[in-house]
Structure formats: structure tokens, C-alpha cells
Structure 1
């Protein structure tokens, strides 16, 4: 996976820098780039497309095929990125480019996505309390993604890129069992 990240990073950085530059005149440029990359990444994830990308077609044919499938979803700059990646035989890493691009966007916007899995749906007060605590801990704005899992018994698991806080009853029971076995 780290190899894909290494390959994807320069493309994502270039696209992000260009999007930020465009944002001076078009406030939605970063969002447009996110949408373009997301759509193109979904196209190359398709099984039939994966076969095509690993075939012996020329770079121009591959780029034209991806661009024609994406249609109006790609502007001229998005098409240029597809052509460049096709020339370098890197179209298969588009999903990783999207992931890296989103990381740059989050860093630029100083936001972090935090996943909260709880045994019961969270109340608005609980959500606000988690957001406040995580913003303080991460020193940035937090976007909360909440879901429920009845197997947790009680409590919640909070995840972000850097760490996990397991405050679930299941997690506490597992830690207790590990301690007792020592």
C-alpha cells in the first residue's frame, strides 16, 4: 500500500496545488477536483476497466477511453491529469490519488474525520461533547461520522487516522480478560 501512496502522492499534490490556485477565482475549485477524482477513481475500479488498463493498449487509447467514459465529469484539467497518468502507466493508482488528495484537502481545511461507532444512537448533546473533546485533542475542526453496532454492548469506539479510543464494554471486557490471563 505504501508503494501506491508513493506513486499517487505527486499526482495528488499537483492536482491539489492547482485546485487551490484555481480557488482564487473559483471558490468551488477544490470541490470540483474532488468530484472529478472521485468519479475517475470509481471508473478505474470497475473490473472491466481494470482489465483494459492492464492490457497492451496505447496510452492515448487508454486516456481517451477513460475520458470518454467520464464524459462531462472531467474538465480540461482533469482530462490532462488522466492523459498524464496514462502516459506514465499510472491510471490504476487513481483511487490512491483521490485518497491523498482528500488528505491534502482535510489538512488545508484543518479538518479531521472522526468515526464513532456506538452501541446506541448518539444524542445531539453526546455528539457535541465528542466533537468538542476531539477538536481539543486534534487541534482542528472535526467532522463526525456516527454509526451503531449492537455487538458493542455499551459505550463507543472513536477512530481517526492517528488513533483509536475504545470505550466500549466489549473492549473493556477484552482488556480485562487479557489482564486476567497474565
Structure 2
């Protein structure tokens, strides 16, 4: 995964910087998300792993995308095809989205709790996390009954585990040390 990120990061940054310079972030985000889905298509996977030239791959890919790509998007695809990197488009799209969130000072936070959270609890969590992370927070809540009690909050690299299961695991580790 880290190798894939290493390969995809320069393309994501270049696309993002170009999008910012041209005030076109939304359009680029949509183009990259669409191309990421095209790459995942089983037929396209076979084509990408065939012995076609970079120009042939770029032409096929652009034809499949039809009106979803503007001229700059098509040039981006041609460059990626020439470098044999079309298969990393899903990771490029993800990294682009991360750069967009950072640029907009927002972050997606995943909350997995033992029980459904009330609107008041969500609002309080959102306010608290916005203060701690200094960003606008987009909550994605889900329920996992196996947690027994508490919740796991994931925001980028930050993980806060206040579940009974997590606390028991930490206690067990502390006792074994």
C-alpha cells in the first residue's frame, strides 16, 4: 500500500495544484473519481494489463470516459499512460480528496459506537472534535453491537478508543507488562 501511495502522490499533488491554480477543484475531483471507477472495471483491468502501447491505452481510456474528461483531464490520462501508471488512479483520487479536505480545512471522522448516537451527542462530539482538530468535521456514524459500550473515533491518523473492549485490552496489556 505504501508503494502505491508513493507512486500516486506526485500525480495527486500535481493534479491538485493545477486544479487550485485554475480554480477547478470540484471538476478535477469528479474526473478523478470517475477515472478511478473506470480502472476498477474488470474489462478495463484486462485492457490495462494487455500488451497495448501507452498511446493505445490512453486512447481507449479517454474514449471510455467520453465527456467526463476535459482537455486537461485527457492530458493527465495520457501522461499517466505514458508512465504506465493508469492502474494507480484510485489511489490518486483518494490522495486528491485528502488534499482537498486539507485545503478546505475539513476532515472526515468515522465514529463506531455500541449504540445509536442522539443528535445532541453528535453535535457535542462534532464541536469537541472541531476544537481539537482545528478543522470542520464531517461525522460518519455507524453501530457495532460487539463493542458493548463506548465508541471508536477515527480521524485520519488519530484513533480514540473508549470502548469497553479497548479498555479491557489496555488493562490486559498493562497487567502483562
Calculate the TM-score normalised by the size of structure 2: 0.93
Unaligned runs of 5+ in 1: 24-28
1:173: Cα distance to partner?
Answer: 2.4
Q: Take 2:111 and 2:170, find their aligned partners in 1: how far apart are those partners?
A: 20
| Misfit runs of 4+, over 2 Å | 173-182
Pairing 1:154-169 to 2, within 5 Å after superposition:
154-169=149-164
Query: Paired residue for 1:176, among 164, 167, 171?
Result: 171
Q: CA deviation at 1:181?
A: 4.3
Correspondence for 2:97 among 99, 102, 106:
102
Structure 1 vs Structure 2 CA RMSD: 1.4
Give 1:13's aligned residue.
13
Q: What is the match of residue 26 of structure 1?
A: none
| 2:115 alignment partner, SS class | coil
Q: How far off its partner does 1:180 sit?
A: 4.1
Aligned to 2:58: 63
SS in 2 for 1:144: strand
TM-score between both structures, scaled by the size of structure 1:
0.91
Return the alpha-carbon distance in structure 2 between the equivalents of residues 171 and 87 of structure 1. Answer: 48
* Secondary structure at the counterpart of residue 157 of structure 1: strand
Task: Figure out how many residues of one structure are paired with residues of the other and give that number.
Answer: 177
Query: Is 1:122 equivalent to 2:117 in the alignment?
Result: yes
